[in-house]
């Protein structure tokens, strides 16, 4: 009998330092076609532990997936000791991500806070390579300061095709960047001047940021059904058996991490 909890070995192809605490790991993976935007993997280290990490990008043609890993605990501390060419055991992919069919032919707004950009990066990159998929895409990203900004090269590329607003919580922006929380800039989004029935909103970030950003869209009149959130939880089994990620009767690892706001607004710990 197959053990669905048994991780499989995958070779690390490259490691890129993004910030002092956040590194980008590119890992060899031969079943990329199974991956959906916004899903996650369980990354394991023998005798250390396991942790859930969102898939931040992938290549079907080159057979790799990428993870933005933040150094925040025992497992991630050990992951930062690995080198390219070594093995990273993992299992997955898990969860329900962003269904591409839901966004085709529509206007889409993506709002992220900090490392919340990572789970939606593959979705945005797909739109960059296939801009005909949607009518238009507008981006609003918030970071603590300019030193915390992630995927800077991607941001420059995305700006070539999409309206992009970058905000920092404090300090000074560059190139006309805005200072303040993303919630302050929601009313200024250009796509909000269009028909709401043809508009989909994606929000990814810390729980407090997602809560108040969603409320800003609600003030403007965006229906619950047009807003999507991605929950970051400490998944354990990732198959709905342990209950570690459960909120009331909802298993985030199975029904999420991507939820429609009509359900997400009631998911409170």
**Is the pLDDT reported for residue 200 higher than 60?**
yes
What CA–CA distance (Å, rounded) separates 63 from 3? 24
pLDDT of residue 40: 96
14-63, pLDDT tens digit by residue?
A: 999 999 999 999 999 999 999 999 999 999 999 999 999 999 999 999 99
pLDDT of residue 171: 65
Structure tokens at 126: 């797909």
**Is the pLDDT reported for residue 115 higher than 70?**
yes
**Is the pLDDT reported for residue 173 higher than 60?**
no
Is 178 a known ligand-binding residue?
A: no
Give, in order, the Cα–Cα distances in Å from 187 to each of 56, 172, 193. Answer: 28, 22, 10
Is 69 a known ligand-binding residue?
A: yes
Report the alpha-carbon angle 12-10-81, nearest 5. Answer: 45
Domains of the chain by residue range: 8-93, 100-265
Q: What percent of the chain has pLDDT over 90?
A: 78
Is 237 a known ligand-binding residue?
A: yes
User: H-helix or E-strand containing 159?
Assistant: helix 152-159
Say if strands 49-59 and 64-70 run parallel, antiparallel, or are unpaired.
Answer: antiparallel
Is 172 a known ligand-binding residue?
A: no
Give, in order, the Cα–Cα distances in Å from 222 to each of 136, 202, 245. Answer: 17, 12, 29
Collapsing DSSP to helix, strand or coil, 30 comes out as coil
**Is the pLDDT reported for residue 209 higher than 90?**
yes
Is 242 a known ligand-binding residue?
A: yes
- pLDDT-derived band at 137, boundaries 50, 70, 90: very high
Average of per-residue pLDDT values in the chain: 92
Is 70 a known ligand-binding residue?
A: yes
**Is the pLDDT reported for residue 125 higher than 80?**
yes
């Amino acid at each position: 009998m197959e053990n669905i909890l048994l991780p499989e070995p995958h070779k690390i192809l490259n490691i890129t330092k993004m910030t002092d605490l956040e590194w980008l790991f590119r890992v060899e993976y031969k079943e990329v076609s199974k991956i959906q935007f916004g899903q996650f993997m369980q990354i394991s280290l023998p005798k250390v532990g396991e942790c859930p990490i969102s898939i931040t990008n992938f290549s079907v043609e080159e057979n790799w997936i990428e993870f933005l890993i933040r150094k925040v605990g025992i497992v991630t501390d050990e992951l930062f000791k690995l080198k390219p060419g070594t093995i990273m055991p993992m299992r997955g992919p898990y969860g329900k991500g962003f269904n591409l069919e839901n966004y085709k032919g529509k206007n889409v707004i993506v709002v992220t806070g900090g490392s919340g950009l990572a789970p939606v990066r593959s979705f945005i990159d797909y739109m960059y390579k296939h801009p005909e998929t949607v009518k238009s895409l507008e981006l609003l990203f918030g970071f603590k300061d300019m030193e915390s900004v992630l995927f800077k090269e991607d941001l420059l590329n995305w700006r070539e095709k999409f309206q992009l607003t970058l905000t920092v919580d404090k300090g000074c922006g560059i190139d006309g960047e805005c200072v303040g929380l993303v919630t302050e800039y929601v009313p200024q989004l250009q796509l909000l001047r269009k028909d709401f029935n043809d508009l989909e909103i994606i929000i990814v970030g810390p729980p407090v940021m997602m809560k108040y950003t969603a409320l800003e869209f609600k003030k403007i009149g965006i229906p619950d059904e047009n807003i999507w959130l991605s929950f970051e939880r400490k998944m354990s089994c990732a198959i709905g058996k342990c209950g570690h990620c459960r909120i009331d009767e909802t298993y985030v690892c199975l029904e999420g991490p991507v939820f429609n706001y009509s359900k997400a607004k009631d998911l409170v710990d």
